[in-house]
Chain A
């Protein structure tokens, strides 16, 4: 979709030092890091929508979507502790070293969507890969039409990047809607699944694209709602996750249909996803 990044760390991970760790929600932490090599620290460039492979030395490597926007943020990863390797990452402290390979994948197609309205629909930690796109688009606010974020999580304690979202709420021209699945004491905002916000926000369809990311059940409900309102399949953009081992299009673990998520994705349109013939 976009031009390829010329500088990619392919096989040997680059050492990076964890500078700061923030707890986001239960089991999810954000790790700020810098590369040990000053030259790499200066030149390492990613595009919004790409991913990296992160090594926890002694445990293994995992693929992770990037929440950081290259033009506006410190380098960071937000990772849910869910398996052996991400669990080991959660045991690291500031000053520990991790390994980074990448960046891999195609990235979001910003050039193709200039002048359009954008609806972001995120569920739970699905906000992580969309975050970098939102930051990018807000930086280039004048190039786009209406901007709407619809974000849902199970409960208030499951909402990612709450401070950042509060900042976005105050940004002129950025409509943000946040919901939790069911009422909870102390919560005064919206309740209900995230796809119900589509009606509340009166989302446009003409000259509009939607970025959708979240668990499969949420994804399907959102797609049904958006398609039902007439949004075309090629105007719905998502970023897929797969079991990845090499990132280079060789190991084939991330094969979906006839494409590879690591090199052809991770960003696909729903039109493409429908032809791949597999579950999300």
Chain B
């Protein structure tokens, strides 16, 4: 634990910018919205800004990414398969605990199962993450319901907590520890740790009054989903509300479905591109020959919520698949963001209408 005076924050950011592409919360001057984006300059980053409208997942899992390239000449039969390393080192600053937990879901999913996703691994290996304790919740937040905030317990290189005139600078990896030494930071004491705990507790205490849009009784929903007790009518209700726009998947910090397409370019080579995809799209499971085993819209809807809430997924991720950021509820035109789905499932037990 170290102390980083707020006046030294620019020094930290410049040091990182020298070695990494720098990403973090940036406030758009016109709309006033916070975006998690690449910073043209370290001064653009705003650690005190509200939760970004987008998730940092694009830094490890870009919307569109070339993973291979082929050059094949049918006449000469010359074949060249290129796997060029386009991944640059990135530093993510000001990542909130909910979004960090999304990345940890990704780590377990992409790196921790039978096969390692090599493209993801390349992004992750070259990355440094500075998290930022949420000292106040926002209307959409429910990280306390999903055990993913407001304070990051693991998985960061550096965690900053705003203590007023300074940040508590906690290190979670060798990279983070080396950075503290390099910056010559002063050690923090027990009083600073107590101040952090007080800040975190104060933040949690604010959920009742400030995070008023979403409450999600996750454990109850996990139970009912896993034991198959969700009624078909509830899935039908949820399915009918869905516009199939895919927005929930795209703003979700833990949704990782992707598509792969080979695209022949004018210049000759064929690029193998990986793009974001959503299990709620109608053609998601459709096969050549038009057979679609997942036809009804309620099939596709419950697929996503099983991914977020079933016990089998919890076993895989060691936590629910939802990290409580509330973005899906903000973008859903059908009003079936995750908290409302949890509510609909919960209300079954009382017999009231969804």
* A and B: interacting chains: yes
Whether B287 lies near A242 (C-beta < 8 A) is: yes
How many chain A residues touch B (CB < 8 A): the figure is 41
**A9 → chain B closest CB, angstroms:** 11
Contact of B284 among A12, A60, A97, A253 (CB under 8 A): A253
B106-160 interface with A by 8 A CB criterion: 109-110, 113-119
Is B287 a contact partner of A243 (Cβ separation < 8 A)?
Answer: yes
Whole-angstrom distance between the Cβ of B320 and the nearest chain A Cβ: 15
Query: At the interface with chain A, which of B43-51, B75-83, B85-93?
Result: B75-83
Q: Which chain B residues lie closer than 8 Å to A19 at the CB level? A: none
Does chain A have a CB within 8 A of B72?
Answer: yes
Beyond A11-B118, A12-B83, A242-B285, whether A58 also contacts B72 by CB under 8 A is yes
Give the contacts of B57-102 with A (CB-CB under 8 A): 67-68, 70, 72, 74, 77, 79, 81, 83
Chain A 44-67 interface 0/1 with B at a Cβ cutoff of 8 Å (1 = within): 000000000001011111100000
B115 to A258, Cβ gap below 8 A? no
A139-147, A190-198, A244-252 - interface stretch: A244-252
Cβ contacts under 8 Å, A251 to chain B: 257-260, 277
- CA A13 to CA B80, docked complex, whole Å: 11
> Is the C-beta of A83 less than 8 angstroms from some C-beta in chain B?
yes
Interface residues of B in 249-273 (CB under 8 A from A): 256-262, 264, 270, 272
- Residue of B at shortest CB range from A258? B312
Binary interface profile of B, 238-251, with partner A (CB < 8 Å = 1, else 0)? 00000000000000
Interface residue A15 (Cβ < 8 Å from any Cβ of B): yes
Nearest CB of B to A217, in Å: 11
Query: What's the nearest-Cβ distance from chain B to residue A128, in Å?
Result: 14
| Contact between A241 and B81, CB atoms less than 8 A apart | no
Q: Measured between C-beta atoms, what is the minimum distance from A272 to chain B in Å?
A: 14
Q: A246 with B299: in contact, given A10-B118, A258-B312, A279-B294 (CB under 8 Å)?
A: no
Q: How far is the CB of A265 from chain B (nearest CB, A)?
A: 13
A30 at the interface (CB under 8 A from B): no
**B291 interface hit (Cβ, 8 Å):** yes
The A129-165 residues at the B interface (CB cut-off 8 A) are none
Question: Are A279 and B258 interface neighbours, CB within 8 A?
Answer: no
**A57 B70 Cβ-Cβ under 8 A:** yes
Q: In the complex, are the beta carbons of A97 and B287 less than 8 A apart?
A: no
Is A279's CB under 8 angstroms from B295's CB?
yes
Q: With a CB–CB cut-off of 8 A, which chain B residues contact A280?
A: 293
Say whether, besides A86-B288, A97-B72, A258-B312, A278 and B109 are in contact (CB < 8 Å): no
Please report the C-alpha to C-alpha distance between residue A97 and residue B77 in the assembled complex, in whole angstroms.
7
A15 to B119, CA, bound (A): 20
Q: Are B68 and A12 in contact (CB under 8 A)?
A: yes
Of the residues A96, A97, A245, contact of B259 by C-beta under 8 Å: A245
The residue that A255 contacts in the complex, of B72, B79, B83, B279, with Cβ under 8 A, is: B279
Query: Please, which residue of chain A has its CB at the minimum distance from the CB of B285?
Result: A243
CB of B289 closer than 8 Å to a CB of A: yes
Residues of chain B within 8 A (CB-CB) of A58 are 70, 72, 262, 264, 270
Is residue A99 within 8 Å, beta carbon to beta carbon, of the partner chain?
yes
Instruction: Determine if A250 and B291 form an interchain contact, defined as CB atoms under 8 angstroms apart.
Output: no
Say whether A255 contacts B256, CB under 8 Å.
Answer: no
Cα A13 to Cα B83 in complex, Å, equals: 11
Complex alpha-carbon distance, A280 and B294, angstroms: 9
With A15-B81, A95-B77, A97-B79 already in contact, the answer to whether A250 and B258 are too (CB < 8 A) is yes
Inter-chain contacts of A86 with B (CB < 8 A): 288
Measured between beta carbons, the chain A residues less than 8 angstroms from B291 are: 216
Measured in the bound complex, the distance between the Cα atoms of B258 and A67 in whole Å is 29
A241 to B272, CA, bound (A): 23
The chain B residue sitting closest to A62, CB to CB, is B288
List residues of chain A with CB within 8 A of the CB of B299: 278
CB-CB nearest in chain A for B284:
A253
The answer on a CB contact under 8 Å between A59 and B262 is yes
Candidates A62, A241, A250; contact of B115 at CB < 8 Å: A250
Residue contact A256 to B288, C-beta cutoff 8 Å: no
The answer to whether B72 and A57 have CB atoms under 8 Å apart is yes
Please list 8 pairs of residues, one from A and one from B, whose beta carbons are closer than 8 Å in the complex, sorted by A's number: A10-B118, A58-B72, A58-B270, A83-B288, A242-B285, A246-B258, A250-B110, A252-B256
The 7 closest A-B pairs by CB, nearest first: A83-B288, A57-B72, A248-B115, A60-B262, A279-B293, A245-B260, A252-B257
Known contacts A263-B113, A263-B114; 10 additional CB pairs below 8 A are A11-B119, A12-B83, A13-B81, A55-B70, A59-B264, A241-B287, A249-B115, A253-B257, A253-B277, A255-B303
